Amino acid sequence: MGVKVIIPTPLRAYAGKQESVDLQAATVGEALSALTNRFQELKKHLYSDDGRLRSFVNVYVNDEDIRYLQKSDTPVREGDTISIVPSIAGGVTQQRKCGGTREPF
Amino acid sequence: MSGPVLKIAEDLLRRIHAHGAETYPHECCGALLGRENDGSREVADLLPLANRRDDSPRNRFKLTPDDVRLAEKTARAKALDLIGWYHSHPDAPARPSEYDRDHAWPWYSYIIVSVEKGQARDTTSWRLQDGRSAYDAEAIEIAGRSAGI
């Protein structure tokens, strides 16, 4: 037994369809590194090209946001649970008028 | 080869349109609660949520991790899954933007409704491809009334 990482539903397809993965790690960074080494397809959905966690990806240790702890250096202990929760964001890039004239659906 | 299909009842689609009209000229947003069986995906209920982007709500929306957890909890309480999200594009096409793509995950269904001058127009749905470089259009299949969950 080590730490448990809960895999969010949209990413389970990239983690062997598992709901959670047990790992040995001393910090959050080590746990996520071990996770993405084991399931390499996960990496691009968690990290941007510069190697940072994507801005909309939030990581918690036992419900504490690691941004308010020691970020990826946050220590984890036997039995801790790491959760990955997205923020949902989007929107129009450029304001331009619709060309459509169709009725809704 | 047929692409992904999202089934949604007409009354639920009307609720999304009404939400988009209500918040116009700001973007609306909310969660899609439903089921997926053998690749067939159906919206069974909605959870309208508040757009957290106070600084630029006309062309951006944001939901916090707490909103996401609330949506997951609400889905579980109704024996449903959180299968995706909807948002509006005020006075802009119902197509995903680069900004949408940068902030998306695969698997989720992303419904976009264009709202022109306060009136809902086109509705589309999208799923991000595994490689993150593009979306697949998801066909919307309109069903009868929702089950009233």
Q: Which CATH number characterizes residue A66's domain?
A: 3.10.20.30
Q: A86: nearest CA in chain B?
A: B65
Asked if A100 and B58 come within 8 Å (Cβ–Cβ), the reply is no
Q: Please, which pLDDT band fits residue B6 given cuts at 50, 70 and 90?
A: very high
pLDDT over 80 at A101, yes or no: no
Instruction: Using DSSP, state whether B4 is helix, strand or coil.
Output: coil
> Chain A residues with CB-CB distance to B under 8 A?
8-11, 13, 41, 44-45, 54-56, 58, 60, 65, 85-105
pLDDT at B146: 64
Measured in whole angstroms, the distance separating CA B39 from the mean position of its chain's CA atoms is 18
Q: Please, which pLDDT band fits residue B144 given cuts at 50, 70 and 90?
A: confident
**Chain A CB contacts of B87 below 8 Å:** 90-91
Domain count, chain A: 1
- Of residues A29, A86, A45, A87, the one with CA closest to residue B130: A45
Over the stretch B123-138, which tens digit does the pLDDT of each residue have?
A: 999 999 999 999 999 9
Within a domain: A51: yes
Mean pLDDT, rounded, for A41-64: 95
Spatial neighbors of B38 by CB under 8 A, at least 6 apart, are: none
DSSP bridge partners of A47: A53
Spatial neighbors of A18 by CB under 8 A, at least 6 apart, are: A7, A12
Phi, psi (rounded to 5 degrees) for B109 = -90, 135
Q: B100: nearest CA in chain A?
A: A90
Within a domain: A41: yes
Over the stretch B55-85, which tens digit does the pLDDT of each residue have?
A: 989 999 999 999 999 999 999 999 999 999 9
Contact B11, B146 (CB under 8 A): yes
Tokens of B48: 């309208």
Within a domain: A19: yes
Asked if B60 and A13 come within 8 Å (Cβ–Cβ), the reply is no
Number of Cβ within a 10 Å radius of residue B3: 9
Select from B69, B93, B97 the Cβ nearest to the Cβ of A91: B97
- Look up residue B51 and give its DSSP letter: -
Over the stretch A87-98, which tens digit does the pLDDT of each residue have?
A: 999 988 754 444
Within a domain: A63: yes
Instruction: Say if B93 is an interface residue toward chain A (CB within 8 Å).
Output: yes
Within a domain: A102: no
pLDDT over 80 at B149, yes or no: no
Instruction: Say if B122 is an interface residue toward chain A (CB within 8 Å).
Output: yes
Q: Tell me, what's the ipTM?
A: 0.89
Tokens of B89: 């594009």
Q: Which domain holds residue A65?
A: 2-86
Spatial neighbors of A28 by CB under 8 A, at least 6 apart, are: A59, A61, A66, A71, A72, A73, A74, A76, A82
Q: Please, which pLDDT band fits residue A4 given cuts at 50, 70 and 90?
A: very high
Tokens of A9: 């539903």
Asked if A98 and B110 come within 8 Å (Cβ–Cβ), the reply is no
- Of residues B102, B126, B134, B122, the one with CA closest to residue B32: B126
How many distinct helices (H) and strands (E) make up chain A?
A: 2, 6
Q: What is the DSSP string of B14-32?
A: HHHHHHHHHHTTSPPEEEE
Distance, in Å, from the CA atom of B94 to the CA atom of B121, rounded to the nearest integer, reads 9
Instruction: Say if B60 is an interface residue toward chain A (CB within 8 Å).
Output: yes
